Amino acid sequence: MKVKSKLLLSILIITMIFALVVTGCGKSGEEAKQGEPETKEGGSLVVGLSQVPKTLDPVLYTGTYESNVMLAIFDTLVTYTDDQQKIVGALATDWKVSDDMLEYTFNLRDDVYFHDGKYVKGRKLTAEDIKYSLERSAKESAMGRLSDLKEAEVLDEKTVKLVLKQPNAAFLARLTDPGNGIVAKEEVEGWGDAFGQNPVGTGAFVFKSWAKDDNVTMVRNDKYWAAKPNLDELVFKFIPDLSMMSNALISGDIDIATEVQGPDRQKLVNDQNIDVQTMPGMNVYFAAMNMKEGPTADIRVRQAISYALDVDAAVSNIFQFGGATRAYVPLPSKSWGYDSSLEDLAIKSRNLEKAKDLLKEAGYENGFKTTIVTPNKPLRAKWAQIMQTQLAEVGIEADIEKLEWGTYSDKVSKGEAPIYLLAWTWYPDPDFFLFQFFHQDQIGRLGNGQAFDDKEVTDLIDKAKGSTTDQAERKAIYKEVIEKAMAKVPRVEGWHKENINGIRKRVNDYKICPDDQVRIVTQERNVWVEK
């Protein structure tokens, strides 16, 4: 008994000590939080980009490297939250959508000013500017980014109504694109063709200079509506060689390296002055099979190929240093339309016997010859080689055709590729993936170069776009689209590539985004640096 009570007492004491230590830790943790470095103003941040922008005119830009720079200069009516799960107001405070989904009415902020340019001197933003910018985009956008817009009406100084040609639930997603950034008419008309080299917007940073092929430099916009930027200066530096970009990060010549690749990642992880951030990208890599011509027109052959391929092995081989997760569904895992229960519909593991049986059933007992068409990009070229070896095991003899991009897209669009490896990345709205991949109107285009031809799927895609703007309802429809599409085994999903950024530790409040765009000042963040 005595022993028992002693034991109880000791347990009690140990528990109390433990509790004290734990709460003590908590306290010191809080103290540590209070002791976190205080936000500092000033300083310059240098971001490395691998490609050189050609123009910074919103309607003319075509590449993501250009939108990286433009995001700092221009604002859009609405924008995605930093995690890209929701659309929130930016230049617009709020908006209403008419029942027929044809009219969007936006109320504008009252505290937005243009940068000081050559023709505009810090003028206040008005509804006229929205009308001018968006109608210009609708007419002149090189990418047809706002082709749905019929007209914009100015209701009063702070209210603007956008009228669409047809209902499009993905319209707001379109408006988040920097290509639909708001510009000042005086500047665009004053500069003419040279506006793209002298951009003026309402964004957090004011364009200062552009040394061709070297850097774009901007300074902070003191009157920025979301927050006064902490940085004095923001520089985008163009470094085409990716391993040199990592070296430049280590040597301190840049503060943020984008597009970090496998082997370089390891190098950066080992450096104590650098943080490495990763995020599953808004992308999907896949192998699509021609559904109109050749042996792959037979669903049994497509199934056989899916069983013959060991995607897990391929992914771990290609990404020896990490940097990707296997894909099962034709949608980025970070898209709001993604439903992980769909993953069970995919053929997940290799089964050579089943593959051979299916081939036999389809009349290809002795295999057949085919071609894997891939753009000349290292990841996909490597996958093509692995596929070639794996397919040989079931008697399918595949040649590899490695093409330069222009030739590749031409061939795939024309439906001339038996099997092709493609990567797709776009807005988080599923329409930008599923419409492109599976809509009948897209046959003859790159996205649906395999000729996926199904009336029911096409109707569902139209319904998801044209019948409601409610995200939950749309998600349910897209789920059905994916189920119906996957039942036809049109493709073998490869992987979702992770976006990897290397960041020097002196940089604070920076987070990588799923679309791999560099955001420095948003409504949720205001990056600052230790000097």
Give the residues lining the site for other proteins (CB under 8 A): 51-52, 54-55, 60, 62-63, 141-144, 147, 193-194, 196-197, 211-215, 237-241, 243-245, 247-248, 250-254, 404-407, 409-410, 413, 424, 426, 432, 436, 445-447
Contacts of 316 (CB under 8 A, 6+ apart): none
- Straight-line distance from the first to the last Cα atom of the chain, in angstroms, rounded to the nearest whole number: 66
Among residues 389 and 407, whose Cβ is nearest to other proteins? 407
Among residues 206 and 347, whose Cβ is nearest to other proteins? 206
Among residues 139 and 360, whose Cβ is nearest to other proteins? 139
Extract the tokens encoding 385. Answer: 């080689």
Among residues 71 and 249, whose Cβ is nearest to other proteins? 249
Among residues 128 and 441, whose Cβ is nearest to other proteins? 441
Among residues 251 and 340, whose Cβ is nearest to other proteins? 251
How many residues would you count in the chain?
531
Residue 257 CA to residue 251 CA, distance in Å, equals: 12
425: which strand partners?
Answer: 283
Which of 242, 244, 248 lies closest to 261, judged by CA? 242
Residue 168 region, left (φ>0) first, then alpha (ψ -120 to 50), else beta?
beta
Question: Quick one: CA dihedral 135, 139, 143, 149, positive or negative?
Answer: positive
Give the alpha-carbon dihedral of 142, 146, 148, 149, to 10 degrees: -120
CA-to-CA separations, 94 to 77, 216, 333, 410, in angstroms, rounded: 10, 33, 29, 42
Among residues 317 and 407, whose Cβ is nearest to other proteins? 407
Among residues 60 and 345, whose Cβ is nearest to other proteins? 60
For every residue of 142-158, DSSP letters joined together read: TT-TTTTEEEEEEEETT
Residue 241 CA to residue 247 CA, distance in Å, equals: 10
Question: What is the Cα Rg of the chain in Å?
Answer: 27
Contact 304, 366 (CB under 8 A): no
Contact 458, 440 (CB under 8 A): yes
CA-to-CA separations, 390 to 348, 372, 419, 446, in angstroms, rounded: 15, 13, 14, 26
Contact 286, 280 (CB under 8 A): no
**Measured over all CA atoms, what is the biggest interatomic distance in the chain, rounded to whole angstroms?**
96
Residue 463 CA to residue 476 CA, distance in Å, equals: 11
Tally of CB atoms within 10 A around 125: 22
Among residues 213 and 353, whose Cβ is nearest to other proteins? 213
Contacts of 297 (CB under 8 A, 6+ apart): 290, 291
Closest approach of other proteins to the CB of residue 510, in Å: 21
Residue 343 CA to residue 471 CA, distance in Å, equals: 21
Closest approach of other proteins to the CB of residue 434, in Å: 14
- Which H/E stretch holds residue 12? helix 2-34
Contact 414, 310 (CB under 8 A): no
Strand, helix or coil at 481?
helix
Residue 88 CA to residue 209 CA, distance in Å, equals: 31
